[in-house]
Amino acid sequence: MTPEIFVKARSTLFIPSMTENTFPNIIQNTTGFQSLTETINWLQAESFDLKKNLSTSGVLLFRGFPVSSAEDFDSFSSAFNYGEFTYQESLSNAVRINKTPKVFTANEAPADVEIFLHHEMAQTPSYPEKIFFCCLSPASKGGETPVCRSDKVFNELSEKHPKWLSKFESLGLKYTTVMPPSDELNSGQGRGWRSTLSVYDEKEAEEKLKALGYSWKWLKDKSLLATSPALPAISVLPDGSKSFFNQIIAAYRGWKTLENSSVPPVTFGNGEFIEENILNSIVAIASRFTTLLEWKTGDVALVDNRRVMHGRHSYSGVNKREVLVSLARDS
């Protein structure tokens, strides 16, 4: 990094401060960086302030920067120097395709499938703290990424439904999913059990599930019905505030349930069912704190996965929507 670039960047590219209504915080390339090298130099120089800003805003949206490929995006996200979180090591049930070792497609679910609000991998014991998205090509119509402030959802729930909230907090949640024998591209949760668990056969799968505290059942078609151990429904953030950190909305609205199965996709941590009226109330409250990332080519969004939920609207039209993802740990 040359001093000239540092001075130029500091003096002309404004990092907007956070206000109560700034969500997401949009950072425009007003300096007019033409090259990725200049951009990365600036990101590295400003990473402390950018991370500080993210810790209160929840989402930074970088617009107008020279990012036009998976490799550019890999370099852009690497400039923040977060720890690595590879998709292979996760227990996510979405099908994705790697573009570089740390960049992959957001979700291979069909265009007409809506992916409902969730914290990434909150339904598993291991999750990334940060998520980068990059839009290489927006859809012709739809395809926005809704983002929702879960700390505000928590606050509203504590006012309106304190008893329910304390039950979520004390019992946690259990999630039940069905994993097919191999990856299915026609679903938002189509990742097969072999790739989800990084195993070769049934015996290895059972060993892995046992070690993770899951219960399971093999189905006639060789699919695997797996129920997580009780996982937290609430997360305490570094500033002491709390967020409604879970996958209740996505599981309730979007996950497939087994025909004739009495097990819903999400229950309290003791297996008790969550009443429909409280589920609907959570959905309604979350919608009030949700805004849309309306993608433009070259946009990069950095999302604090512990404070903010995300999803994906369905889309249509001739343009192929191409949104990539990179996951990260805080360190």
**Sequence-separated (6 or more) residues with CB below 8 Å from residue 3:** none
The least distance separating Fe ion from the CB of residue 57, rounded to whole angstroms, comes to: 19
Q: Whose Cβ is closer to Fe ion: residue 120's or residue 299's? A: 120
Q: Which lies closer to Fe ion via its Cβ, residue 38 or residue 120?
A: 120
At closest approach, how far in Å is the CB of 28 from Fe ion? 26
Minimum CB separation of residue 20 from Fe ion in Å reads 26
CA-CA distance, 328 to 240, in Å (whole number)? Answer: 22
Query: Among residue numbers 119 through 138, which ones bind Fe ion (CB under 5 A)?
Result: 120
Q: Least separation, in Å, of the C-beta of 144 and Fe ion?
A: 14
Tell me which stretch binds Fe ion (CB under 5 A): 80-88, 116-124, 272-280, 296-304.
Answer: 116-124
* Stretch of residues binding Fe ion (CB under 5 A), selected from 81-89, 113-121, 186-194, 198-206: 113-121
**Least gap, CB of 76 to Fe ion (angstroms):** 19
Q: Which is nearer to Fe ion, 146 or 155 (CB)?
A: 146
Exposed/middle/buried for residue 205 (C-beta within 10 Å: 0-12, 13-18, 19+): buried
User: 87: burial class by Cβ within 10 Å (0-12, 13-18, 19+)?
Assistant: buried
Which CB sits closer to Fe ion, 25 or 92?
Answer: 92
Q: Does 151 bind Fe ion (CB under 5 A)?
A: no
From 82-90, 115-123, 169-177, 180-188, give the range in contact with Fe ion by CB under 5 A.
115-123
Q: Which stretch binds Fe ion (CB under 5 A): 13-21, 112-120, 222-230, 244-252?
A: 112-120
**140 close to 294: Cβ distance less than 8 angstroms:** no
> Shortest Cβ contact with Fe ion: which residue?
120
For Fe ion, the closer of residues 165 and 328 by Cβ is 328
Phi/psi of residue 266, nearest 5 degrees: -140, 135
- What is the number of helices (H) and of strands (E) in the chain? 9, 20
3-class DSSP state of 172: coil
Give whichever of 31 and 290 is closer to Fe ion, judged by the CB atom. 290
Distance CA(331)–CA(312), nearest Å, equals: 27
Q: For residues 208 and 124, give the distance between their C-alpha atoms in angstroms, rounded to a whole number.
A: 13
Name the minimum Å distance from CB 303 to Fe ion.
Answer: 9
User: Could you give the dihedral angle defined by the CA atoms of residues 103, 109, 111 and 116, in that order, rounded to the nearest 10 degrees?
Assistant: -90
Q: Are 86 and 102 in contact (CB under 8 A)?
A: yes
Site size toward Fe ion (CB under 5 A) is: 1
Indicate the residue among 42 and 175 with the shorter CB distance to Fe ion: 175
Q: Which of 124, 233, 213, 109 is nearest to 170 (CA)?
A: 233
How many Å apart are CA 118 and CA 146, to the nearest integer? 10
> Least distance from C-beta 325 to Fe ion, angstroms?
8
* Minimum CB–partner distance for residue 92 and Fe ion (Å): 8
Residues near Fe ion (CB under 5 A) are 120
